[in-house]
Structure 1
Amino acid sequence: MNNWVGMSEEQVGIIQKARKRVIESIGKNMDLYGVTLSSGHLYGMMFFQDKPMTLDEMGEGMGMSKTSMSTGVRTLTDLKMVHKVWEPGSRKDLYEVEPDWYQTFADYFAIKWRKQTEMNLQAVRKSLSELKRLKEAYQDNEQLQKIVNTDINKLEEAVRYYMWLGRLIDTFESGEIFSLVPKEEPVKP
């Protein structure tokens, strides 16, 4: 998959060592975010390819089964880190990494944050509703009113936070985040 023509073994070795270091680092970092180490390594390996890869090529490059590669690619595709591409004359599915790491970051966190935010907001709103009904039903109980009011205030603050987080996620999904925090311009050789 790499064109090593015209390079010495030493030169190839240095390139491979440098790539392996980055692939290992990517794998470990992605593991921190809930992506398996092997899927992180797969992403790292694909990052260094100059062309889209088939599942067979990935399996060969990783020394793993096509089934394992399929699972890893599905995970990376769901996170918008890898996408399927079409190539004329090819009957096999081909995949490549999203080259825009900024967009990959934005997509990854938007997907994760949106899911968690919606789940938490749903729980908070359900609890708020129950506490408000309890407060209304037992207006004559001062101790209960005090505890419930404290909890309601905390949960209403949580709703405000999750609404703000939703707007932040919107800036990631729309790309507006990049006007607020611009991407670094490529360094010209």
Structure 2
Amino acid sequence: MEDKHEEKLYKAQDRVIETLAKNMDLYGITMSTGLLYGTMLFQNKAMTLDEMGEALEMSKTSMSTGVRTLMDLQMVDKIWKKGTRKDHYEVNLDWHQTFIDFFSLKWRAASEQNVHAMKKSRQELLSLLQSGDLSDDLRSRIELSIDRIDNALAYYNWLSRFIDALESHEIFELVPKDPVQE
């Protein structure tokens, strides 16, 4: 009877692992790295690269690449274990903070790059408007482009404030963390 229950446990865990792995493309994570994350999630201990490779039947190199990706995204932490020289890794269980860390990093980097390009283009277009030899059609298209850039800059200003609310955890005042729902 115990074996049957254990089989059901593994089946339930495998379903979650596979679903997480399939959906982690939102984070730009490969399926194999997603499977690694899911596998680590259900461990009751920190794992070495060797243990990960054995659990997933993958090479230590693949595990190392996957763990490095997950560490960069702050989804996995390296921990020290007394009496061993091997590195051990465990999943960061604070999914709220993982979301904040990942998306804040990605959104801020993309936003800053876009804002820089837009401000530079806006300045060039404003200078172009100062030219006296523009047709009405060209002037109208330049003004439309400036208007569209201004609209985008307003969005990126909002996005920056949203990222600030995530990083400061003010977001949880507006959208509180809920207890686990059945």
TM tier, smaller: over 0.9
1:49-64 to 2 correspondence within 5 Å?
49-64=43-58
Note if 1:182 corresponds to 2:172. no
- For 1:136 and 1:59, locate their aligned partners in 2 and report how far apart those are by CA, in whole Å: 64
Is the alpha carbon distance of 1:20 and 1:140 closer, same or farther for their aligned partners in structure 2, counting shifts above 3 Å? closer
Partner of residue 170, structure 1: 164
Partner of residue 85, structure 2: 91
Partner secondary structure for residue 45 of structure 2 = coil
Shift of 1:130: 1.6
Partner of residue 4, structure 1: none
Shift of 1:32: 3.9
TM-score by length of 2: 0.92
**Match for residue 44 of structure 1 among 38, 41, 55:** 38
Is the alpha carbon distance of 1:138 and 1:59 closer, same or farther for their aligned partners in structure 2, counting shifts above 3 Å? farther
Aligned length: 181
- For 1:152 and 1:138, locate their aligned partners in 2 and report how far apart those are by CA, in whole Å: 18
**Match for residue 154 of structure 1 among 140, 148, 156:** 148
- For 2:141 and 2:19, locate their aligned partners in 1 and report how far apart those are by CA, in whole Å: 48
**Match for residue 111 of structure 1 among 105, 120, 124:** 105
Q: Which runs of 4+ in 1 moved over 3 A?
A: 138-141
Partner of residue 18, structure 1: 12
Deviations 1:112-140 (A, max 9, x none): 21122122212211211221121112465
* Equivalent position amino acid for 1:114 in 2: R
- For 2:56 and 2:120, locate their aligned partners in 1 and report how far apart those are by CA, in whole Å: 47
- For 1:186 and 1:31, locate their aligned partners in 2 and report how far apart those are by CA, in whole Å: 24
- For 1:121 and 1:175, locate their aligned partners in 2 and report how far apart those are by CA, in whole Å: 24
CA RMSD of aligned residues (A): 1.6
- For 2:29 and 2:180, locate their aligned partners in 1 and report how far apart those are by CA, in whole Å: 28
Deviations 1:36-71 (A, max 9, x none): 011111110010011111111111111111110111
Q: Which sections of structure 1, spanning at least 5 residues, go unmatched?
A: 1-6
**Match for residue 78 of structure 1 among 49, 62, 72:** 72
Q: Which sections of structure 2, spanning at least 5 residues, go unmatched?
A: none
